[in-house]
Structure 1
Amino acid sequence: MTFEEMLASAQHSAVHLEMRDAYVPDDPSFIAWQGGPSYDRTQRERDWHQLIGGARARGVVVRRARIVSEPVTDYIRFEHSVTDSMNIKAGELVRWLPRRRASDLLLPGNDLWVFDDHLIRFGFFAGDGRYLGEELVRDPSVIKQCLTAFEAVWHRAIDHAEYRLV
């Protein structure tokens, strides 16, 4: 099942929990942001806006929470710099939680998307941020645990408009 199909299956919510300080080191957008060869993100953003916009039009609330170490890494600086144009403009709600404020939360071992209360997509990454694959889980008890963790993060996290990088 593709990500697009998973999002299309959502009827009321899609939540994304990100807990890494670096992702996809060979991302052309990130490389350009660092001063490498230029890269036009226009089509990438347009595709994301269309995907999220379709979900939002169906009434799906899309929330993204990012747990970050401070001071933040260059990759998190990059993510923060493109969040308005990529995520917020698409219709996502985005919050940031400094890792030091998450010490007493019970969190899953991997990043995840939860679609409604019926499907989790765990994402697996190498230590350097390279994407390794995913696992789909439909176990209601695992879904409940992950949604509880996400809500705890969301409750403490700072709205993107108010979060200042350290």
Structure 2
Amino acid sequence: MSQNGVPDFAELLRSAQYTAVHLEMRDIYSVGNEKAGFEDFLRTGRTDVDPDSPFWQGWTPLVRETVARGVQMRRARIVSEPVTDYIRWEHALTPVNVAVGEQVRWLPRRLASDIALPGNDLWLIDDRRVMFHWFTGDGDWAGHAFNEDPDVVKMVVAAFEAVWERAIDHEKFTV
């Protein structure tokens, strides 16, 4: 357990028994470990789609391990259109997420207007535990909070499922 009773992310994902879902709602992130890859994409249009490359080593082994235990992993992204350069890069990288076992869908923001959404990106584990992530205005990490309150979890489940139902499978979503 990390500080303040909030589990570290790998620990949280390893605790999943059935489902792990991720809701992303920003049009740009600027977290430090992605900076070089994003800048390269802007310069060259190329992305690292080798799930075994050093860029992915913090993520793909954890997803493979989680999916191998029978956990269903779903990721939904709500995006503005036209999409930002960051979202174009994220879309280009998503085949790796899919290749290692995640299901990914995209929802244009204009189709989410009547969905009650949480104020922050999140991970929901087994429809029981939520880890909210918040970011600075320009997209860098600003913190996170862990929540198991049944009313909060119920709201998050409803929001994610509404987004998922409307969202477009990655293979059919174009940027």
1:95 counterpart = 2:105: yes
Distance 1:118 1:108 in 2: 16
CA distance in 2, matches of 1:73, 1:114: 26
Task: Give the equivalent residue in structure 1 for 2:4.
Answer: none
Cα distance in 2 for partners of 1:64, 1:39 equals 20
Amino acid corresponding to residue 42 of structure 2 in structure 1: Q
For residues 121-160 of structure 1, the aligned pairs below 5 Å read 121-160=131-170
Structure 1: how far apart are the matches of 2:105 and 2:122?
A: 15
Deviations 1:60-80 (CA, angstroms, capped at 9, x unpaired): 000000000000000000000
> Partner letter of residue 84 of structure 1?
P
Q: Structure 1: 5+ residue runs without aligned partners?
A: none
d(CA) in 2 for partners of 1:110 and 1:28?
25
SS at structure 2 position matched to 1:122? strand
Deviations 1:10-62, CA, capped at 9 Å, x for gaps: 000000000000001652211111128x9977113244221001111111000
Is 1:13 matched with 2:5? no
- Residue 4 of structure 1 is matched in structure 2 by 10
Amino acid at match of 1:95: R
SS of the equivalent of 2:114 reads coil
C-alpha separation in 2, matches of 1:154 and 1:25: 25
Runs of at least 5 residues in structure 2 that lack an aligned partner in the other structure? 1-6
- Counting aligned pairs with the same residue, the percent is 52
Cα distance in 2 for partners of 1:28, 1:144 equals: 38
Match of 2:88 in 1: 77
- In structure 2, the residue matched to 1:59 is 70
**Contact kept in structure 2, 1:28 and 1:39, CA below 8 Å:** no
TM alignment of 1:42-57, pairs within 5 A: 42-57=53-68
Residue 109 (structure 1) aligns with: 119
Q: Count residues in correspondence.
A: 163
TM-score normalised by L of structure 2:
0.88
The two structures have a TM-score, normalised by structure 1, of 0.93
Runs of 4+ in 1 over 3 A off after TM superposition: 38-41
Structural RMSD (CA): 1.7
- Match among 39, 54, 60 for residue 31 of structure 1: 39
**Could you tell me how far apart the structure 1 residues matched to 2:94 and 2:156 are?**
24
Structure 1 residues 70-129: Cα deviation after superposition (integer angstroms, max 9, x where no partner): 0000000000011002x1112100000000000111000000000112211100011111
